[in-house]
Amino acid sequence: MIEQTVPRREGYAPVPGGQVHYQVVGDGPGIPLLTLHGGPGAGHDYLEPLAAQGQDRPVIFFDQLGCGRSEQPGDPTLWRIERFTREVDALREALGLRRVHLLGQSWGGWLAIEYMLGNPDGVVSLTLASTSASLRQFVEEAALLIDVMPEPHRSVLQRATSAADYQTPEYAEAVLVFYQRHLCRLDPWPDALVRSVKNLDGNVVYATMNGPNEFTVTGNLAAWDRTADLGAIRVPTLITVGMYDEITPACAATLHRGIPDSRLAMLYASAHTAHLEEPERYNRVLREFLTQVESGAWSDE
Q: Work out the pLDDT band at 301, boundaries 50, 70, 90.
A: low
C-beta atoms surrounding 234 within 10 Å: 12
Average pLDDT over residues 50-78: 96
User: What gap in Å lies between CA 13 and CA 25, rounded to an integer?
Assistant: 16
Buried b or exposed e, range 71-105, using 16+ CB within 10 angstroms: beeeeeebbebeebbebbbbbbebbebeebbbbbb
Domain-embedded: residue 174: yes
Domain-embedded: residue 229: yes
Domain-embedded: residue 176: yes
How do residues 83-115 score in pLDDT, each as one tens digit? 999 999 999 999 999 999 999 999 999 999 999
With vertex at residue 133, the alpha carbon angle to CA 80 and CA 126, rounded to the nearest 5 degrees, is: 90
Per the model's pLDDT, the better-predicted residue between 296 and 195 turns out to be 195
How do residues 107-157 score in pLDDT, each as one tens digit? 999 999 999 999 999 999 999 999 999 999 999 999 999 999 999 999 999
pLDDT value for 285: 98
pLDDT higher than threshold 70 for residue 2: no
- CATH number (domain holding residue 190): 3.40.50.1820
pLDDT value for 163: 79
pLDDT value for 4: 53
With vertex at residue 243, the alpha carbon angle to CA 196 and CA 60, rounded to the nearest 5 degrees, is: 40
Domain-embedded: residue 166: yes
Residue 194 CA: distances (Å) to CA of 49, 157, 203, 216 = 14, 23, 15, 21
Domain-embedded: residue 3: no
Buried b or exposed e, range 263-282, using 16+ CB within 10 angstroms: bbbebeebbbbbbbbbbebb
Which residues carry out catalysis?
106, 245, 272
pLDDT value for 49: 97
pLDDT value for 149: 94
User: What gap in Å lies between CA 144 and CA 255, rounded to an integer?
Assistant: 19
Task: Count how many domains the chain has.
Answer: 1
How do residues 158-185 score in pLDDT, each as one tens digit? 988 887 778 889 988 999 999 999 999 9
pLDDT > 90: what percent of the chain? 87
Query: Smallest Cα–Cα separation from 193: which of 136, 115, 275?
Result: 275
Q: Work out the pLDDT band at 212, boundaries 50, 70, 90.
A: confident
Query: Smallest Cα–Cα separation from 276: which of 67, 120, 50, 98?
Result: 50
Domain-embedded: residue 261: yes
59 - beta bridge partners?
A: 25, 33
DSSP helix/strand/coil, 205: helix
Domain-embedded: residue 274: yes
Domain span including residue 84: 8-295
Query: Smallest Cα–Cα separation from 114: which of 264, 290, 232?
Result: 232
Query: Smallest Cα–Cα separation from 247: which of 125, 136, 173?
Result: 136
Domain-embedded: residue 301: no
Query: What single letter denotes the amino acid at residue 260?
Result: P
User: What gap in Å lies between CA 58 and CA 222, rounded to an integer?
Assistant: 34
H or E element, residue 283: helix 279-295
